[in-house]
Amino acid sequence: MAILTILRGAGRFKKDIYLYIRRWAMSEFDSIIGLQKKFLENKEIHIAGFIDESTADYVHECMLHLQTHGSPDIKVIFRSEGGQIEAGLHIYDELRHYAGETKGIVRGFAHSAAAVILQGCSERLAYRHSSLLLHDVRSLRN
């Protein structure tokens, strides 16, 4: 009888753990979304991590939001190791055709596709110990 009670208790315990982890993950997600909204209110777009289509979609949505608010001057903060060049070129085009001034600031590193995106900003700055990496595209020719 005691073993049966422990097993029933373990099932409830597993469910409680699952619900706790799910609530924690959702609160983490909500805090990330809240942080991105706060940055956007301060007219900042952060490009961090690997650049892919989801990054391009995020920047596109930010730009649309800013355009509905009169295209204010913005800062684009970089800390990225690069990624897919197609996605990077989409973001580059968004920045080049934005009506307001765009200031690109490298905090840490802007490698590969991130360095290409940086060139789309009307003003480019980097912290003293930041690094940029551009590939030698001549080596890609046949």
Amino acid in position 111? H
pLDDT band at 118 (very low <50, low <70, confident <90, very high): very high
- Which residues touch 28 (CB under 8 Å, ≥6 apart)? none
Where in the chain are the domains? 1-41, 43-140
Q: What is the pLDDT of residue 8?
A: 47
The yes-or-no verdict on residue 52 having pLDDT over 80 is yes
Taking only the tens place, the pLDDT of each residue in 67-99 is 999 999 999 999 999 999 999 999 999 999 999
- The CA distance from 30 to 51, in Å, is 22
**pTM to 2 decimal places:** 0.74
User: Could you tell me if 128 and 107 are in contact, meaning their C-beta atoms sit under 8 angstroms apart?
Assistant: no
Q: What is the pLDDT of residue 35?
A: 78
- Which residues touch 109 (CB under 8 Å, ≥6 apart)? 78, 79, 80, 81, 130, 131, 132, 133
CATH 3.90.226.10 fits 43-140, yes or no: yes
Percent of the chain predicted with pLDDT > 90? 64
Q: What is the pLDDT of residue 37?
A: 83
pLDDT band at 21 (very low <50, low <70, confident <90, very high): low
- Which residues touch 60 (CB under 8 Å, ≥6 apart)? 90, 94
